[in-house]
Amino acid sequence: MTRSPALRSDRCPSDDLSEFIYLDHAATTPLCREAADAMRQGLLLFGNPSSRHSVGQVSHEALDTARGQVAALLGCQSAEVVFTGGGSEAISLALRGTFAALRWRGHLVTTAIEHSAVLESAEALRRHGVDVTIVAPEPSGHIDPARVAAAMRPDTVLVSVMHANNETGAIQPVQDVTALVHAAGKLMHVDAVQTAGKLPIDTLDADMVSISAHKFGGPKGVGALRLATHHRVEPLVCGGGQEEGRRAGTENLPGVLGMAAAAVSAMPRLHDATYREQRCELRLRLLQQISTLDGVHVNATDPVMAETVSVSFAGVRGDTVADVLDMHGVCVSTGSACHAGQDSPSHVLTAMGVSDERARATLRFSFGPATTAADIDAAARSTVAAVHQLRRVSGHGSLLTAESAGAH
């Protein structure tokens, strides 16, 4: 397979997927056709949704309909949906907005494996005077609810735990944590950016849930925060009274309509047992084929998202393997796209106790609805060949073979 050509601007991105194997859905997903169609319609709705005249009211009605569709994905009332400029803003509004409303008083509990949007917000809160406790994960990549409970104090205001990790796919026990948090009379935020449109999130009992459209087939630059009506946050963006005073600025109507259409498109898959079984089969298929190599380590144990596979290959650099695969038309990553190009090892893997060497030897494969068994087979063949080649060049291949033989 050769390196894919640049996408043509006159085609829907999904049409071009046949030209390469895209296994980086955890970073961003192709825009689904339903979202693209909805956005085209949104571009024609030029009226301001806040205007009282008839042209503005047409836009307002479209915004209301989209809000209801996103609310259905989140399992809440339309009034609880706050549209934002993306998942990071939704997370920041949940964390910083909560403590800003309290004049930076109180205590936050979160975990060491959170997305940087959470950890950087936590650090900003610390600079404002908020006390922050970071809970370490288990070696499996999961958070123990008992550790979260032990970290809470009388002055704890908010606990923030992600639904599933963006690097390893480890599904966190957020319902158990939420029950403990609510029993203590505290607030709960769940970062569901990686799971929205992939796993059901409508049953999450958290007071706040953050999502991002481009992780489930919608456009970039638009997200949402499910904000319980009993909780008040200080807006991060001030100005007009849009979003019930919770986020100022004229709404990105084409983006919101695209997000809503992607949500509607994704929802039937969430409870489709056949679809879920197919995703699990793809994961197993990939792991079986790359495990023909020596020195392969899977970086999270069950429960994990079937769509996300984090593996380390001893004796090679993950970024080098990813570059070789890219030249052969296979798109994967070494971890979070937010830290692409950085040489520092993954903070998630480091928190799990993984060595720096193994962390730097890691690749993340992440699937989407269009991923096929043929894609997995081709990607696995290219990965095995790339690792073999790089090990031979570095001299690690013979060492691994000798170690493997000695183990037997």
- Which residues have a catalytic role annotated? 338
Residue with tokens 């959170």: 114
Q: For residues 31 and 214, give the distance between their C-alpha atoms in angstroms, rounded to a whole number.
A: 7
How many residues in total does the chain contain? 408
Q: Helices in 169-317 by DSSP H: which ranges?
A: 174-183, 253-270, 273-290
Cβ-defined contacts of 61-68 (< 8 Å, 24+): 62/253, 62/257, 63/251, 63/253, 63/256, 65/260, 66/256, 66/257, 66/259, 66/260, 67/256, 67/260
Angle between helices 373-394 and 273-290 (to 10 degrees): 20
- The answer to whether 226 and 76 are in contact (CB under 8 A) is yes
Check: CB of residue 313 under 8 Å from CB of residue 296: yes
Separation between Cα atoms, residue 367 and residue 203, nearest integer Å: 24
Integer-rounded Cα radius of gyration of the chain: 22
CA dihedral for 107, 109, 110, 112, sign (positive or negative): positive
Q: Measured on CA atoms in the order 245, 75, 149, 355, is the torsion positive or negative?
A: negative
d(CA 254, CA 260): 10
CB 57 within 8 A of CB 47: yes
Cβ–Cβ < 8 Å for 17, 370:
yes
